[in-house]
A and B are shown apart, each in its own frame.
Chain A
Amino acid sequence: MNTENRESEARKGLTQSGFSPCAEIRDLLPLSGLGFRGDSDRPDIEAHLHSCAECRSEAEFVARLCELRPEPPLFILQGVLDGAVRSDWVRRPRWRSLSAAAVAILALGMGLFWNPEPTADPLWALALEPEPTTWYSDEWIIAGGLVPQALSDDVLRALLQEMSQ
């Protein structure tokens, strides 16, 4: 019977495990999850510890030792995280590399298939319409708009002289 099974067995009832109650209890004393460190909710364990001075003494000793366990210094975690950053592990994880490749492929696909001339939107239709080369009124003079290509150089020169006066 392996340890996990024996521990499980002990949770159900010590007498079923085939080991003596003392041996079972002493095996399990370090397991805080079973509540053997002073405030057990197991009446059979509590009863045994009350009646067996040896087991009670060991339970007290183990509980005391457990309180005195050496704790790791705080710098271990920070050192690991710093080391991870230095090794580029955090900044360049593998999934990001894959994502970058996926984005590049997607962008390439969009470049191949994307139509930059939306035709359904009337605003786009207006914007993409060729600019007029001929004005049909005098508004261009007021607005300072495009010089109509239809006017001759002589006419244009005369107009410029007139505007400069």
Chain B
Amino acid sequence: MELGDAALLALARGGDSRALSCLVTRHQGVVYRYLLSFLKDEDQAADTAQDTFLKVLGRLDGFRGDSSFRTWLLAIARNEALGLIRACGRRKEEALEQTEFIPDDADAPDDVTVRAEEVRRVREALERLPAKQRLSVSLRLFDELSFREIGKIIGSTEGAVRVNYHYGIGRLREWLDEHGE
């Protein structure tokens, strides 16, 4: 039987490393993709995801269960990402709208790299979306969060998230179809 987050948290608070491992395994995907949407850099997203979990480790007693563990985790991840952006003096959000889509002009890739190449193209297309559209699409499409939970995470109403999601999907289709996806 699979333990829920609450049970794993209780065990992790007691120092159970297996419970910690389960929590990280369960949530590392959504944290990583969320940070990737923010930072648009795979290495930074991975490092910041790691930092996020370590920060969570030190704050387990501070989680009161007012929101879901995932929502709380993503709030911490967001703060970590914002801290990193501030530290680097980057203005990713403003630059996002001006990012030019660069189609892949390379020769046809072999079978081994086909998927990696497709993933890269989708990620680049996602990066062109405005922040709220990008986060709405990523969290809904890849991690199947409800529109309401996404709203809590990104600070929007449920209706606005729904609209952002559909706009985002529409623009992705347009761009990727245009470039042969």
Chain B 92-135, CB-CB to A under 8 Å as 1, else 0, gives: 00000000000000000000000100110011000000000000
Q: Are A75 and B46 in contact (CB under 8 A)?
A: yes
From A58, A71, A77, A80, B57 is in contact (CB under 8 Å) with A80
Please report whether the interface of chain A is mostly helix, strand, loop or mixed according to DSSP. Answer: helix
Q: Are A30 and B141 in contact (CB under 8 A)?
A: yes
**A residues 1-57 touching B (CB-CB < 8 Å):** 2-4, 7, 26-27, 30-33
Q: Are A77 and B28 in contact (CB under 8 A)?
A: yes
- Whole-angstrom distance from the CB of A28 to the nearest CB of chain B? 10
Q: Are B25 and A77 in contact (CB under 8 A)?
A: yes
Q: Which residues of A sit under 8 angstroms from B31, Cβ to Cβ?
A: 72
From A3, A31, A33, A77, B24 is in contact (CB under 8 Å) with A77
Q: Are A72 and B32 in contact (CB under 8 A)?
A: yes
Q: Interface segment, B1-9, B62-70, B78-86, B165-173?
A: B165-173
- Whole-angstrom distance from the CB of B173 to the nearest CB of chain A? 6
Q: Are B169 and A62 in contact (CB under 8 A)?
A: yes
Q: Are B141 and A72 in contact (CB under 8 A)?
A: no
In the assembled complex, the Cα of A138 lies from the Cα of B122 at a distance in Å of 103
**A residues 89-123 touching B (CB-CB < 8 Å):** 89-90, 92-96
Q: Which residues of A sit under 8 angstroms from B14, Cβ to Cβ?
A: 93-95
Q: Which residues of B sit under 8 angstroms from A66, Cβ to Cβ?
A: 141-142
Taking the complex as formed, is B147 at the interface, i.e. its CB lies under 8 A from any CB of chain A?
yes
Interface residues of A (CB under 8 A from B): 2-4, 7, 26-27, 30-33, 58, 61-62, 64-66, 68-73, 75-77, 79-81, 83-84, 87, 89-90, 92-96
10 tightest A-B contacts by CB?
A93-B15, A72-B32, A69-B142, A3-B146, A3-B147, A80-B53, A79-B50, A95-B14, A83-B54, A3-B148
